[in-house]
Amino acid sequence: MSYLDQLNTGAKSKDAGPPDESKLDIGTSQGGADALQQPPATTVDLHREYEEAGVKDVLDELDRELVGLKPVKKRIRETAALLLVERARRRLGLAYETPTLHMSFTGNPGTGKTTVALKMADLLHRLGYIRKGHLVSVTRDDLVGQYIGHTAPKTKDIVKKAMGGVLFIDEAYYLYRPENERDYGQEAIEILLQVMENHRDDLVVILAGYADRMDKFFESNPGFRSRIAHHIDFPDYTDEELLQIAVGMLERQHYHLSVEAERILVSYIEHRRVQPHFANARSIRNALDRARLRQANRLFESDAGPLDANALSQIAAEDIAVSRVFRQKPGQTADSTSPEDGGPGDGPEERPS
Amino acid sequence: MRITQGTFSFLPDLSDAQITKQIQYCLDNGWAVNLEHTDDPHPRNTYWEMWGQPMFDIADAAGIMMELASCRKAFGDRYIRLSAFDSSSGWESVKLSFLVNRPKNEPGFRLRRQEGHGRNMRYTTEPYADAKPEGERYAV
């Protein structure tokens, strides 16, 4: 696709109906480039900048799509304001240094860290702090090699791929294993620190993980702490928020809950929260997946003649009520071999280690 | 004698900013970029040493420039060539190739004449540089 084609599609999608994000991106980034080529301005209209850079779209999207997370949204708003002002200052010749943008997201599993990181990449791209705006999500396995001399090329490969975008390191504390002094993780950490310092213009690193373990990680790696400007803490969802998330998830897949089922789901959330391996929204997603499985089986086995769209898309109370969560005492480990609850269970992704 | 090879070879050497733009053009087209180096400038020397593997799935030129910087650090006294490969037709074909580094001093080529039967003349060229063993040719 030629440059002109891209511009045209960008313009078209702006005019017509639902905006396509990727195409809009091209449009706005071109606009940003034009603005930079203009002679230095003497005044800056922050509100116009805010609208034109598309920051508003991203923040609105964040508000709309993510339930709860008030403090996170507030922090992102503040960060966006800072970056916008910084950009305006740069335009007036008041600032030349790229601000440190590396961040750490701490919070329990399933609290939306990856989702917010995606939005953050989009935001930074629209503000022109990163050139491409893609997110490369990695864990220890992608960075650390298996034998001597394997780690450096592996880490560098990932860094190369993340250039121009955001490098999201999930469960970053696994990089540092103090109990094994020959662990190759240290090598990856050194390369990352170097890149975070020397390529500040080229990529943004976001470290994510549980709050307490991240704190320990930062304590033993002070280099990371000093290079990270923004620490954002993700709170757990409340029960009402989880219910709202569940309803939203089902709506997106064109399912709905019967009144009875919704009541059962509320008590399911209460029960599930006190059990081990609770992973907030992810647990809810898995529970809904299992409910869909049971619904399908129920419809198949009851064999009640032709089904209409409503029957096919309604989750009934019994689809949730048979969950083993209700039969367990709080604090007891889930028995993953329970036959009634086989299938896509509380998979390994929910386990804390 | 300045070696000319590949695209842009009759222009002055590209600056890093210009190289970055060329790389970005390649990446935007979905081509994989590869770095190679040699200290044998003979035009028939086609297969150069590879610097790592060709770089796939890279979005931004900064990643390649990082590799180029480390290649220059190791082999700054050699020729370094950047090639871009297009795989959209099912096989990798070179779409763009140009020199991104050359030795400070390029002594050029000697023309050798060999007298054959019946006053026949055979001509061949050889780089002055390859009188020395590999690795020492352009070392200062």
Dump pLDDT digits (tens) for B16-53.
999 999 999 999 999 999 999 999 989 899 999 999 99
- Per-residue pLDDT, averaged over B104-128, amounts to 92
The rounded radius of gyration (Å) of the Cα atoms in chain A is: 24
Q: Which two tokens stand for residue A288?
A: 């809904």
**Please, which residues 90-119 of chain B have a Cβ atom closer than 8 Å to chain A?**
none
Look up the CATH architecture of domain B16-105. 2-Layer Sandwich (3.30)
Q: If you count residue pairs, one on A and one on B, with CB atoms under 8 Å apart, how many are there?
A: 41
Query: Does any CB of chain A come closer than 8 Å to the CB of residue B14?
Result: no
Question: Around A295, how many Cα atoms within 13 Å sit in the side-chain half-sphere?
Answer: 21
pLDDT value of position A157: 92
* Number of structural domains in chain A: 2
Are A252 and A159 part of one and the same domain? no
Query: Does any CB of chain B come closer than 8 Å to the CB of residue A149?
Result: no
Judge whether A112 lies within some domain: yes
pLDDT value of position A319: 87
pLDDT value of position A305: 78
Closest by CA position to B136, among listed B40, B1, B35? B40
Are A288 and A217 part of one and the same domain? no
Are A286 and A331 part of one and the same domain? yes
pLDDT value of position A167: 95
In chain A, which residues have their Cβ closer than 8 Å to the Cβ of B66?
A: 156, 159-160, 163, 199
Instruction: List the beta bridge partners of residue A168.
Output: A137, A206
Q: In chain B, what are the domain boundaries?
A: 16-105
Query: In chain A, what is the straight-line distance between the N-terminal and C-terminal CA atoms, in Å?
Result: 45
Nearest CB neighbour to B63, from listed A153, A161, A201: A161
Are A104 and A184 part of one and the same domain? yes
Judge whether A16 lies within some domain: no
Q: Closest Cα of chain A to B96: distance in Å?
A: 17
Distance CA A18, CA A61 (A): 13
Judge whether A91 lies within some domain: no
pLDDT value of position A24: 38
Boundary-marking domain end, from A234, A249, A265: A234
* Residue A129 neighbours by CB under 8 Å, 6+ apart: A83, A87, A98, A101, A204
Record the pTM.
0.76
pLDDT, one tens digit per residue, over A286-320 is: 999 999 999 999 888 887 778 888 888 888 888 88
Residue spans of chain A under pLDDT 70: 1-41, 329-353
Are A318 and A225 part of one and the same domain? no
In chain B, which residues have their Cβ closer than 8 Å to the Cβ of A160?
A: 55, 58, 63-64, 66-67
Are A103 and A204 part of one and the same domain? yes
Distance CA A110, CA A249 (A): 14
Are A249 and A315 part of one and the same domain? yes
pLDDT value of position B49: 95
Are A212 and A104 part of one and the same domain? yes
Nearest CB neighbour to B63, from listed A153, A160, A201: A160
pLDDT value of position B32: 95
CB spacing of A165 vs B60 below 8 angstroms: yes
CB spacing of A165 vs B59 below 8 angstroms: yes
Are A188 and A285 part of one and the same domain? no
CATH code for the domain in which residue A142 is found: 3.40.50.300
Enclosing domain of residue A110: 98-234
Order of strands across the sheet that contains B93-101:
B49-50, B32-38, B79-86, B93-101
Query: Does any CB of chain A come closer than 8 Å to the CB of residue B64?
Result: yes
Boundary-marking domain end, from A234, A251, A284: A234
CB spacing of A163 vs B55 below 8 angstroms: no
Are A124 and A228 part of one and the same domain? yes
Nearest CB neighbour to B60, from listed A153, A156, A164: A164
Are A228 and A243 part of one and the same domain? no
Judge whether A220 lies within some domain: yes
Judge whether A163 lies within some domain: yes
Nearest CB neighbour to B59, from listed A132, A156, A199: A132
Judge whether A276 lies within some domain: yes
DSSP state of A88: H
β-strand pairing of A204-209 with A103-107: parallel
pLDDT value of position A54: 80
Judge whether A191 lies within some domain: yes
Judge whether A90 lies within some domain: no
Distance of alpha carbon A294 from the chain centroid: 29
Q: Residues in chain B, how many?
A: 140
**Please, which residues 23-52 of chain B have a Cβ atom closer than 8 Å to chain A?**
52
Nearest CB neighbour to B58, from listed A153, A160, A201: A160
Distance of alpha carbon B139 from the chain centroid: 17
Boundary-marking domain end, from A182, A212, A234: A234
CB spacing of B59 vs A203 below 8 angstroms: no
